Structure 1
């Protein structure tokens, strides 16, 4: 991609050098959250009420100064960064000056320009989202954001949450390398913000409360494929701006393929369970991204009345 030297967005909230959060969250890719270790006790042993009270006082005393004794006792990081981050993360670079941050700021700015123009053409106003950069884990109104969740959009605060370590995972674990593959991920999450502004996400959340699991998953697939189509619209606009290089479109299509539900399930367990799909198959994700790219028209992204 030819992105250097272009405008960078200021709608970035960088939490990579702040304190980590804790809690529970749901993975957009259906992977597991934080494991809660459960230890066993010695038969016949026990603690008196007085001892328990003392331990509780000690625990919360350390907690007040930012030290989690449970993390320490299980060999974790008392700052709460999480075990999986300790074993896999390289030291992060500065929050404002590294090339990855500049790339993300530029990609977010390009989505802003694209959707501002589209909304303005229809007589509406585009409210730009904020992109939260974090390392390890952080809190969101939608639950815990962590390395296990992958990037996601939270409609409650209109923010995209992204641990940049996911880009390494995208390349090494999913086989989707390249800067345009990374740009596709950002554009897809911004597509969910567009859905929030246009009322698609609120309606989806309203409907799924009365649906069974399989029906809710089928509706979720349509929501996700529309976000893929919107990412394709952004890619078309980026191409018109001269950002795309040879092979960039193929990088995005490969990324869409690698994170299709069927491909992910085959890789993880060797077989697929169609009723559990909630993002769409690899073929569907590629097709709807390409549809957005080919048309550049948001009206072509009506996944709710189309044959997927």
Structure 2
């Protein structure tokens, strides 16, 4: 992905370096596994199957040190977010007939607060409908590469685009209605609705990828393969297998690896928002 030296977004809220208390996954006084689960269905990536008390912690007290890698990741996110702003502004104008008002993306390190609860690098990036902001700890990109096998800058761009897609769903009124129905459904049915929400976001991310390539000429050879590999690596079945569990479809909240890659490809191939109607699809 050709991103260096390009325009960044002004819609970044940088909370890195702010003072935060210690929080350990699984600790009674910290963020805790329960908080991860509560916030989990909003996420583009559900890492709860991978949580281990001894493996993941959310920093100690004091301010977080900002490294050169942090700065580069923040610059990358800013450029990617700017790309989504231009692409979705054009799509809303051409396909929706409305004006696109871009979201704010909150950059943080270790842990921060959102209207949806605590945000941490362990829970992964997510969109919070409560404050209509996207939350991202740039260290998650390292987790993607080193622990999830999703390498490459366009794999990281796909994650940003997926979270922006949740905001797009909210703007279109889809997310609010899906959440309303989901809140009244059984757990199994609620999970099934969540899968359709997430697969639609993957499809919308595919639309963005196509438009970004056409509009900016920023895609390198192999970028789409990186995004599709990332989609596969964060499928519910793959994450559960990696955690040593037998995949249980009734617990899926994001879709299988095959489904996530398929819907990204549908969006990339069509470039049209109606093609991403996962809610009317008989076969996911």
> Judging changes above 3 Å, is the alpha-carbon distance between structure 1 residues 14 and 32 closer, same or farther for their aligned structure 2 residues?
farther
CA-atom RMSD, angstroms? Answer: 2.3
Distance change >3 Å, CA 136–CA 9, structure 1 → 2: same
C-alpha distance in structure 2 between counterparts of 1:228 and 1:274, whole Å: 19
Question: Which runs of 5 or more structure 1 residues have no equivalent in the other structure?
Answer: 37-81
1:114-152 Cα deviation digits (max 9, x unpaired)? 100011123201111000010110000001101221100
Length-normalised TM-score, structure 1: 0.79
Residues of 2 paired with 1:113 and 1:20: CA distance?
34
Counterpart of 2:131 in structure 1 is 157
Specify the alignment match of 2:274 in structure 1.
299
Structure 1 residues 33 and 169 mapped into 2: Cα distance closer, same or farther (>3 Å)? Answer: closer
> After TM superposition, which residue ranges in structure 1, 4 or more long, deviate above 2 angstroms?
19-28, 32-36, 82-86, 90-95
Alignment of 1:163-182 (within 5 A): 163-182=137-156
> Is 2:178 aligned against 1:204?
yes
- Unaligned runs of at least 5 residues, structure 2: 22-29
2:48 corresponding residue in structure 1 = 31
Match of 1:58 in 2: none
Please say if 1:283 is aligned against 2:258.
yes
Question: Paired residues, what number?
Answer: 259
Residues 76-133 of structure 1, C-alpha deviations (whole Å, 9 max, x = no match) = xxxxxx94436xxx942279x9322211110000000010001112320111100001
Matched, 1:119 2:92: yes
Match of 2:79 in 1: 106
TM-aligned CA distance change 1:91 to 1:126, over 3 Å: same
Alignment partner, residue 20 of structure 2: 20
SS of alignment partner, residue 148 of structure 2: coil
Matches within 5 A, 1:40-59: none
**TM-fit CA distance, 1:274:** 0.4
Q: Does residue 186 in structure 1 map to residue 160 in structure 2?
A: yes
